[in-house]
């Protein structure tokens, strides 16, 4: 068979760091080992039943069996506007400030292709979500990393960023509540970010994936709640985490009208919008009963409390996460992130994600997903404790 060479664009794509971890996990499970997988970010609970029922009902509508409007159904955009007003007090125009996404992963890749030319610069958090790099690579653009350090509450310190990089940058990616560090951001931080963006003409992209998942009664802050946010950037929101709809692939971007138009334009050439029944179910998720969201946050908070308490009991002195469904944990002395993650996998059959997979500043940490029952999280902690690493 003739082999056709990949394009230079594909060759620029970053290596998928976690592919080797998936292979190792598969090998152990296929050999019959009981593996507790806390290394991924896939919600383990089902989509609330009222949303599923809405999809079933909507799937019978023959209107949805045809092509959807290219830029999405107006009723879903109106629902998004209502949702943002209800949850954050933010006013949006449904036609010019909202775009429907095939999951926010798509939007986070597309936006670099929309706004960056070869050689342009984007500012990225380190550590950060690896797929930000994918869109930048496809655009043949460059990156400048913003360290997220414990001593600064895992927020970028703009005073330490190279001045020439700030002048050159066209995009800045942020993500709070944060994957992988589980840190949260304040309104003051977003206000400061907007000042920097205005001064240097940078478009802010706030990845709000964990928007609902704040603990201790604290609601996560939307970037758009800060004055001037819509002039300086956009926020990307997914239904994957708030409503356990990861497999449904539905999200949206809101904010700056010119950026929204660019996203819509590129999608005009790539897609013919989402299946209408999925859009109707998404409307139900946003406008319907929100009690399941509150229950979900309580479940994650109980899991967090159970797991963190058990880790501290075995001698692993760690701090509880403030948001997301992750915990960002320092590795013991003498171990790298990968060496420690491999040890837990091979000796305790517990999967965690090595922090260096999220960037250079992730070295020395592992990310743990609170995506199993309290009992299994306790069992994972017990297995780790038996390794006697924290005495």
8-47+291-385 and 50-287: identical CATH topology: no
CATH class belonging to 50-287:
alpha beta
Residues in the chain: 391
Cis peptide leading into residue 177 (ω within 30°):
yes
- What's the CA gap between 351 and 368, in Å, rounded? 8
Which tokens is 201 given? 């003409």
pLDDT band, residue 16 (cuts 50/70/90)? confident
In this predicted structure, the answer to whether residue 337 has a pLDDT above a threshold of 80 is yes
Q: Please, which pLDDT band fits residue 42 given cuts at 50, 70 and 90? A: confident
Question: For the whole prediction, is pTM greater than 0.75?
Answer: yes
Residues 208-219, mean pLDDT to the nearest whole number? 95
pLDDT at 23: 83
What's the pLDDT tens digit per position in 125-165? 999 998 899 999 999 999 999 999 999 999 999 999 999 99
> pLDDT for 291-329, tens place per residue?
999 999 999 999 999 999 999 999 999 999 999 999 999
The three-state secondary structure class of 156 is: coil
pLDDT tens sequence across 225-264: 999 999 999 999 999 999 999 999 999 999 999 999 999 9
Mean pLDDT on 163-180: 96
Query: How does pLDDT run across 80-95, given as a tens digit for each residue?
Result: 999 999 999 999 999 9
Find, among 220, 357, 230, the residue nearest to 293 by Cα. Answer: 220
Inter-CA distances, 160 with 76, 146, 163, 172, 195, Å: 41, 9, 8, 15, 16
- How far apart, in whole angstroms, are the C-alpha atoms of residue 330 and residue 307? 15
Specify the pLDDT at position 25. 84
On average, the pLDDT of the chain sits at: 95
Distance separating alpha carbons of residues 352 and 38, to the nearest angstrom: 5
In the chain, where the domains are located: 8-47+291-385, 50-287
Cα 331 versus chain centre, distance: 23
Q: Give pLDDT, residue 17.
A: 72
Binned at pLDDT 50, 70 and 90, residue 24 comes out as confident
The answer, yes or no, to whether residue 391 has pLDDT greater than 80, is no
User: Which of helix, strand or coil describes residue 359?
Assistant: coil
CATH classification code of 8-47+291-385: 3.90.1150.10
| pLDDT number for residue 201 | 97
Is pLDDT of 18 > 80? no
Residue 373 to residue 44: CA distance in whole angstroms: 9
């Amino acid at each position: 068979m003739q082999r056709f060479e990949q394009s230079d664009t594909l060759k620029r794509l970053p290596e998928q760091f976690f592919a080797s971890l998936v292979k190792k996990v598969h090998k152990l499970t296929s050999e019959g080992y009981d593996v507790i997988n806390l290394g991924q970010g896939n919600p383990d609970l089902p989509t609330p039943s009222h949303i599923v029922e809405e999809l079933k009902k909507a799937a019978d509508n023959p209107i949805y069996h045809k092509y959807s409007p290219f830029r999405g159904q107006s009723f879903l955009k109106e629902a998004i506007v209502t949702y943002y007003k209800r949850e954050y007090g933010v006013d949006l125009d449904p036609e010019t400030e909202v775009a429907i996404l095939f999951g926010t992963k798509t939007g986070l890749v597309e936006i670099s292709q929309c706004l960056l030319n070869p050689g342009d610069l984007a500012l990225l958090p380190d550590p950060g979500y690896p797929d930000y790099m994918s869109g930048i690579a496809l655009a043949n653009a460059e990156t400048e990393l913003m360290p997220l350090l414990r001593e600064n509450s895992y927020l970028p310190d703009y005073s330490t960023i190279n001045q020439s990089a700030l002048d050159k940058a066209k995009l800045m990616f942020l993500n709070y509540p944060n994957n992988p560090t589980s840190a949260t951001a304040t309104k003051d931080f977003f206000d400061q970010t907007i000042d920097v963006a205005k001064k240097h003409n940078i478009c802010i992209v706030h990845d709000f994936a964990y928007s609902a998942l704040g603990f201790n009664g604290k609601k996560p802050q939307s970037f758009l709640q800060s004055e001037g946010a819509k002039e300086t950037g956009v926020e990307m929101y997914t239904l994957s985490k708030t409503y356990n709809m990861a497999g449904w692939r539905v999200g949206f971007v809101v904010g700056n009208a010119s950026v929204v138009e660019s996203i819509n334009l590129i999608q005009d050439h790539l897609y013919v919008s989402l299946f209408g029944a999925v859009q109707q179910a998404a409307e139900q998720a946003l406008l319907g009963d929100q009690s399941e969201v509150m229950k979900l946050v309580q479940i994650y908070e109980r899991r967090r409390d159970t797991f963190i308490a058990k880790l501290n009991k075995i001698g692993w002195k760690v701090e509880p996460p403030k948001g997301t469904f992750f915990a960002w944990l320092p590795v013991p002395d003498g171990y790298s992130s990968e060496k420690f993650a491999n040890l837990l996998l091979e000796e305790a059959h517990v999967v965690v994600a090595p922090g260096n997979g999220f960037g250079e500043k992730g070295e020395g940490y592992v990310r743990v997903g609170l995506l199993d029952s309290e009992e299994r999280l306790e069992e994972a902690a017990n297995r780790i404790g038996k390794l006697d690493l924290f005495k």
